Structure formats: structure tokens, C-alpha cells
Amino acid sequence: MFQMLKLRIIPQTTSILKRAMCTQEQDVLFENLNNAGIITLNRPKALNSLNASMVTKLLQQLQEWMNAKSLVIVKGAGEKAFCAGGDVKAAIDKIEGPKFFYTEYNVNYLIGKYKVPYIAFMNGITMGGGLGLSVHGRYRVATEKTLIAMPETKIGLFPDVGGSYFLPRLPVNLGLYLGLTGDRLKGKDVVKAGIATHFVPSKRLYELEKLLSRCASEVEVQSLLNKFHEPAEDFSLAPNIKHINYCFAASTVEEIIERLEKVQNEWSVKTIETLHQMCPGSLKITLRALQRGAQLELPQCLRMEYRLACRHTTTHDFPEGVRALLIDKDNSPKWQHKSLAEVDEDYVEDFFKKLPQDKELQFFDSKL
């Protein structure tokens, strides 16, 4: 009798455990399709925003696939988002935040040096951490649903996930404009800005994925993407490109605003209003990070950003910005500094100081 009970209980318990494990693994899905590894970020209700569980799984799977697949495709579940960013409500925690950033930045680093073609389908909202999962890869496919932004200065943070590397490298100071203002770009504009490499209508992504999975070489991948690509016509920011290039070449945030005031058109007035809504400390830290990142390689940028991110979890503005915009949603953050003038040089530079050696960002190269 005991043995019979035992036989009945064990399969049932095993089944429950398997179901629990499957449920936990649902936040990101991995599939083998012909020559390709397919990654699906699978939190559509949360706009596929990244959490610690997801970045840990991504890092491990990407390491395994780099020497086993001809290419990797990453996409988001649902129609609304590729990835709306990181789970900042968890990231503001002094303990969990640095752990999350540590793994996330390792994923960004790995994508940046990936040996086989890495193709991101940026279909839908692609912000913050979503750009970190796409822009460092070799190929980035935008659709008519793509909406990109780096809105971190609004929540008391800075454009991380390698933002200090890719933003300063965009043409005509566009990256400094996007990083400081958090302005959004849509559809074909994302290609025009140099953030996406190709534009493909969303209805053709399924067909593209199937054909890409059969590619056996980089030449085949590139040729196929070029066949599907629809070139952009006009750039929505074109009328103000010369103003962006001039204003955001300034060496300080105050000077950027002074130059914007000289432009005196509808765009410049709106841009000044936007900058005044941002966290003053974040604006100055962001500009410094982008200026320095222009001279650094991706690994150095990520190490610098990790120092900044860790310190943001211990200071007032980042938790306050998340509280005001995402938790209480009163949209009335009480920043540490009421104006740019109050943010002094020492405050900014303290964020950039090296961490203790055992706390610095290290990259997991052992399996590469």
C-alpha cells in the first residue's frame, strides 16, 4: 500500500515541479529553428520589460548559441512592444539594482561582440533596455510600429545599456539630443537616425524570420535583409537637423539651452520646455557620460555606466523619479536640485569615480 501511494505521489509532485519551472521560464522563450536560435521576450502585458530572471537566461543562452548557431534572432511577444526597457521598480533597490545592471550590461557587452549575425526585430515600443538588446547587434530591423526612446533623464537616471557608446556616435549630435530630451522616433525615422539598419513592414516579419533561419552565412543574411528592406524617404527631424547639430554641440547643458533660445522656433521652445521637465542632476551626468563615451569603446562605456548606475541606486533622484512617474504616478518629482545652477561639478564627478575593485563591472568571457 505504501509503495502504491509512493508511486502515485512522485509523478504528481514531479508534474507540479515541472509546471512551476515552465511557468518561471515563460518570461523569455528560446527556440531552435533550422540554423537560427530564436529568442522571444515573453512578458507582453509588461511590454516585455526586462527583469533579473530574463537577463540571466539571455546571457547563458547567448553564450551557448554563439558557437552553435549561424545566426540569432530576438523579438518581443505581442504587437505592442519589442522591449519597453528594464524593470526600474526593482532596479532602484540598493542590493538588487546593481545585481540586475551587472548581468544586463554583460548581455549588452556580449551582443556588441557577437560572432554570428545577431538580428533584432524592433517591432513596437523599444526603449531603454530594449535598445540595449538591439542597437549593439549587427542588424536591427524597424517596422511601422517601432517607437524608440531613451527617456531616463525623466526618472532621475541616465541613458545606460551602452547609451554612452551608441548615442554620441549618431550623426549630427542627434544622440545627445535624444539622450538629454528623451525624444521619440518612429518607423523609418529610426533607420534615418542610424539606430536601425533596415525597415521591414511588420506583416512581413514572419516570412523574414523563416527565410533568415535557413541562412548559412553572413552574406546570405545581409542579402536577404536588403531584399526585404524598404528605404526611408524624409526624416521628420530634417527641418531642425542644423539646429540640433549646433545646439547640442555645446559643452554644458546651460549652453545648450542658451543656443536653443537663440533659435526661436516652435521646435526650440518645445525642446527647452522638455529639458526643464527633466531631472537637473541627470541632465548634467548624462551630458558628461555622452561626452566621455564618445572617446571610449563599448566595454569601457559599460564599466563607466555601471559605476553611475550603482551610485544612482544610493542617491535621491532615481528612486524619487521612479516613485513620481511609475509608482505613485503623481508626476511631481522632488529632485535633489531645483535647477541646473544648483548641480555643481563635485556632485557630477562623484558619480564617475571608480568603485572598489571587487565591485567593478567584470565581463563573463570564460565561455566565449
> Which candidate, 357, 347, 349, places its Cα nearest to that of 289?
349
- What is the CB neighbour count within 10 angstroms for residue 169? 12
Q: Which helix (H) or strand (E) holds 241?
A: helix 241-247
Residue 144 grid cell: 511601422
Between strands 28-33 and 36-41, the pairing is: antiparallel
Set 27, 104, 160, 189: catalytic member: 160
pLDDT at 322 over 60: yes
Set 37, 85, 86, 137: catalytic member: 86
Q: Is residue 13, in this structure, part of any structural domain at all?
A: no
Q: What is the CA radius of gyration of the chain?
A: 22
Q: Is residue 15, in this structure, part of any structural domain at all?
A: no
Report the C-alpha gap between 363 and 107 in whole angstroms. 9
Name the E strands within the chain.
28-33, 36-41, 71-76, 81-83, 118-122, 125-127, 139-142, 147-149, 185-186, 198-199
Say what the pLDDT of residue 364 is: 87
Q: Is residue 291, in this structure, part of any structural domain at all?
A: yes
Say what the pLDDT of residue 120 is: 98
Report the C-alpha gap between 368 and 365 in whole angstroms. 5
The crossing angle, in degrees rounded to 10, of helices 174-181 and 280-293 is 150
Say what the pLDDT of residue 333 is: 97
pLDDT at 235 over 70: yes
For cell 538629454, what's the residue?
180
pLDDT at 1 over 80: no
Residue 152: active-site member: yes
Confidence of residue 14 (pLDDT cuts 50, 70, 90): very low
Residue 160: active-site member: yes
Q: Which helix (H) or strand (E) holds 207?
A: helix 205-213
Confidence of residue 24 (pLDDT cuts 50, 70, 90): low
Q: Is residue 191, in this structure, part of any structural domain at all?
A: yes
111-120: per-residue pLDDT in tens? Answer: 999 999 999 9
Ranges 12-16, 96-100, 271-275: which has the least confidence: 12-16
39-53: per-residue pLDDT in tens? Answer: 999 999 999 999 999
The CATH number linked to 354 is 3.90.226.10
Domain containing 257 equals: 23-359
More confident position, 2 or 292: 292
More confident position, 114 or 23: 114
pTM to 2 decimals? 0.91
Between strands 139-142 and 118-122, the pairing is: parallel
Say what the pLDDT of residue 365 is: 72
68-107: per-residue pLDDT in tens? Answer: 999 999 999 999 999 999 989 889 999 999 999 999 999 9
Residue 146 grid cell: 517601432
Question: How many independent structural domains does the chain possess?
Answer: 1
132-181: per-residue pLDDT in tens? Answer: 999 999 999 999 999 999 999 999 999 999 999 999 999 999 999 999 99
Q: Is residue 262, in this structure, part of any structural domain at all?
A: yes
Set 37, 112, 128, 129: catalytic member: 129
What ranges in the chain are assigned the alpha helix state H? Answer: 2-25, 52-65, 88-91, 96-112, 129-132, 163-166, 174-181, 188-192, 205-213, 218-228, 241-247, 253-263, 266-277, 280-293, 298-312, 317-322, 345-352
Q: Is residue 10, in this structure, part of any structural domain at all?
A: no
pLDDT at 22 over 60: no
Q: Is residue 6, in this structure, part of any structural domain at all?
A: no
Q: Is residue 39, in this structure, part of any structural domain at all?
A: yes
